[in-house]
Structures are given as structure tokens and as C-alpha cells.
Structure 1
Amino acid sequence: MQFDPPLKPARLVARYKRFLADVVTPDGQTLTLHCANTGAMTGCATPGDTVWYSTSASLTRKYPHSWEITETRAGHRICVNTLRANQLVREALTRGAIPELSGYSHCQAEVKYGTEKSRIDFLLQAEGRSNCYIEVKSVTLLQNGKGYFPDAVTARGQKHLRELRTIAAEGHRAVLLFAVLHTGIEDVSPARHIDAQYAELLVQAQRCGVEVLAYQAQISSEQMLLTRAIGVADDAAL
């Protein structure tokens, strides 16, 4: 994913009303950015951190600037725009950057499925192969040197695990793909201390055949790419 033009830097003043953030540019201008991330953003929105933002060419947007990346004082870069995770995964699938998910001839996004009326992020198909259902989750929470998902209790995420578990039981391929959008995260664990029910459902899903993958992104002001597999901690793979 290319940022054209490259993102611009600013200093974060505050995030507020979930969708907005005030920043100050290097020349002293105060801007209000749109924030596409409605989650907790723990560790991703510390006042004083560097924000990298894009600007829309649309003349009708009330807030033309969008918060894309946070650069922490530890030097980590974090993509906070939740819309980017699926875009990065689709690009990675197209260029064959996820070997575990290669060899499929068709890729559809947002396909309705399941008994709980869900939409799968990606459905991969190929003649002679079982359908492959992929649920993508963005990972940005770093605590005590470890990456965790989720960063808040997620009823929606719990539903997705139940759906994947059912799909696997029906003989299809079911994949939970963690898109790790934090350069400081080296492995991913279920955040049992935040959402114990999600962590337990993840264990159950894996026992039923759901595969769990984690791929980390390279992040800069010019581009982002999912480039390398990282580990899923043992306590998620029981």
C-alpha cells in the first residue's frame, strides 16, 4: 500500500469524541483529524506522540485529514486506521505474500455466511479445494513487551470465533488472521486479562480446526506492507 503523496507528520494534542483528534503541525498550525478507529487505542494515542496523517482530495469532507499512523516515543509505528487491515491483507493475498493462503483462484470480500448472520472478510475458492474463510483482526496493543488481541471486550469478535468454529466443523478451511500493525510486536497472545471469553473461544476454535496466523506490517510514511509471519503465543494454541 502506497501513500501518495506521503503522509505528513504532526504532534498529537488529544483524541476526543472517538472520531476526532487535534494535532499541531511542524509549522505551528492546529488541525482536527478524523480518526477511523473507534476502539480503546491503548498505547496508540499518547499526547505528544507523532501522528502521520493523510489528506483527502474531496471538497465535501468536513474533516479532510485522516489519522493513519502513530509513532511512539519508543520509535514504534502503529497503523491506527482500522480500514487499512483488510486492504493490507487483500494486497498480501494478491501478491502471494502469505504462503499458507496461496493457490486459490478466486477471492471475494464481505461474503455473508454463518448462522449468526455474519460477513466473512475474505472467502478464497479454487477448483478441487475446500473453501477458505478468513477473518481478519487488527492487532495494535503492546503491553509488557507482548502483543495482545483484543484491546477491549468484543462481542463481535466472539461471534466471529463461533462462526469460524462452525465452518471448520463443516469441513471447510477456517482461518483467523491477525494483521499486526505495530512494529514493536513480535508475537500475539489472546488478551485473557481483557476479554476472557474471547480467549477461551479462541482455544475452542483451534481445537475444532480453526487455523491462526499472524503477519506483521512494515510501516512508514510512504507505504505499508504485510511482510512476515510472527508467532502466536502457546497459550493461544492449546
Structure 2
Amino acid sequence: MIIKKNIIKSEFINRPNRFQAYVKINGVETMVHVPNTGRCKEILIPGCTVILRQEDNPNRKTAYDLIAAYKGDVLINIDSQIPNKVVEEALNDKRIELLSKYNKVQREKTFGNSRFDFKLTDELENECYVEVKGVTLEEDGKVMFPDAPTERGKKHLLELVEVKKCNKDAAVIFLIQMENVNYFSPNDTMDKAFSDALRFAEKNGVHVMAYNCKVGEDFITLYKSIPVKL
């Protein structure tokens, strides 16, 4: 997907809380919004180059969203609103092979008492419910999720198992918001309960997939499947 709003580079200063950061724009210290509640401590390092997207809502307190940052030479998108948009584009373009038989893609659909990111339906009315998790944590080519404890994430996985029990298909897609990585694993150190739930879901028939992305300063698109090591 192409980011159509104005994009600029700046220098990261600090992040006093989850939603705000300070950057230098043309030498002027400026507060911006961070659309990611994760920690991103290994990415948002003082002095690093970050990418800002200009917003046009006059009611906002900040004029820019901090959507990406360079970790060395690698550009990592950190916008938590992006993964679902990228996956939706890929689903519609049939670029996720395991799910390519589904021709109807719906966002934010409920099954039982649960709301999932996507409901997919094929020509025979077979259904698949899909959850998407954005991944930004990388160490030496290994990418992991989560980067902060997530009770909500564990709940989603257990709900997907309930979908399988009703003879419907279920999947979780870890969208890696960068390109050059080797494999994906759950982050046992950060959240053992989530990691155990992911292994439990996989053993009960939930498809566990990871895809990396081609990332530029004004675009991000799903690229290719990455090995999953549980």
C-alpha cells in the first residue's frame, strides 16, 4: 500500500509516554503522536532517523504520526494500524497462498462472543476467521511477538481454537513490519502465557503464519512467507 499523505524525515529525541514522542523537525523540537503502544525500545533510540506522516485533522494535538524508524540501515514500520491494511490488500490480491481460495474478505466480524480482524468466505460458504498481529521486535534476524505482555492477544488465540471446534477454519498472521529477517518465534521471555497459547492453538488446527514486508518511507506491502519456529 502507498502512503499518500506527506512524509518527512526527522531525528528522534525521546518518548515520554506510549502515545507521544519528541523529534527535531528542521532543528525545532516538536511533539508527535506514536501510533503504537508497544515498547519499541530497540528501535526508538535517541538520535535515530524516523519517518513522520503528516495528518490533516485540525482537532489533533499533533501534526504528525511517527510511523517508522531506521534501525541501522533497516527501515521498520511501527504503525499499529498498518498490519490489517497490508493483510487486507494481500488477501484481496490472493498473495497469501493458504487463504487464496477465499473470495470474500470482511473486516471486523463477530463469531460467538468474539470479534476477529477478518472473516473470509469461499464460494461454498466455508468460513475462516483471521487475526493479525504486527511484529516490530527483531534480534539478529529473529523476529518475535509480543514486545509487551498481551492478555488480549492470548484471548484471541484461544478464541480461534473455539472457531476450529465449530468446524470452521482459523488463522493467525504475524505481519513482520520489515524485510530482512530469518524466522519468527513467540517471545517466551516477555509473555510465556501468550507463547503457550500460540503453541496450543497450532496443535489444535489454527494456521500460524508469518510474512515479512517490503518497507519504504512511503509504502509497505506484504512480501513473502517466513519460517515459524514454535
Larger strand fraction of residues? 2
Residue of structure 2 in register with 1:119 after alignment: 115
Conserved 8 A contact 1:135-1:160: yes
Residue of structure 1 in register with 2:215 after alignment: 219
Residue of structure 2 in register with 1:59 after alignment: 58
Q: Does 1:167 align with 2:163?
A: yes
- Residue by residue over 1:21-67, the C-alpha shift from the partner in whole angstroms, topping out at 9 and shown as x without a partner, is 11112x31222111111122231211111110110122222212001
Please give the secondary structure, in 2, of the residue aligned with 1:232.
Answer: coil
Q: Which amino acid aligns with 1:78?
A: I
Q: Which amino acid aligns with 1:7?
A: I
Residue of structure 1 in register with 2:41 after alignment: 42
Unaligned runs of 5+ in 1: none
Which of 103, 108, 115 lines up with 2:101 in the alignment? 103
Q: Does 1:90 align with 2:88?
A: yes
Residue of structure 1 in register with 2:13 after alignment: 13
Conserved 8 A contact 1:122-1:135: yes
| Structure 1 runs, 4 residues or longer, greater than 6 Å off | none
Cα distance in 2 for residues equivalent to 1:94 and 1:133 = 15
Q: Which amino acid aligns with 2:31?
A: T
Residue of structure 2 in register with 1:185 after alignment: 181
Query: By how many angstroms is 1:147 displaced?
Result: 0.7
Change (3 A) 1:184 1:14: farther
Q: Which amino acid aligns with 2:87?
A: V
Please give the secondary structure, in 2, of the residue aligned with 1:214.
Answer: strand
| Count of residues in Structure 1 that have an aligned counterpart in Structure 2 | 230
Query: By how many angstroms is 1:5 displaced?
Result: 4.4
Query: By how many angstroms is 1:129 displaced?
Result: 5.0
Cα distance in 2 for residues equivalent to 1:5 and 1:135 = 27
- Residue by residue over 1:214-237, the C-alpha shift from the partner in whole angstroms, topping out at 9 and shown as x without a partner, is 11111111211011111111xx1x
Q: Which amino acid aligns with 1:76?
A: V
TM-score (norm 2): 0.95
Cα distance in 1 for residues equivalent to 2:158 and 2:205 = 12
Cα distance in 2 for residues equivalent to 1:194 and 1:122 = 27
Q: Which moved more, 1:134-143 or 1:40-49?
A: 40-49
Conserved 8 A contact 2:12-2:49: yes
TM-score (norm 1): 0.92
Q: Which amino acid aligns with 1:61?
A: R
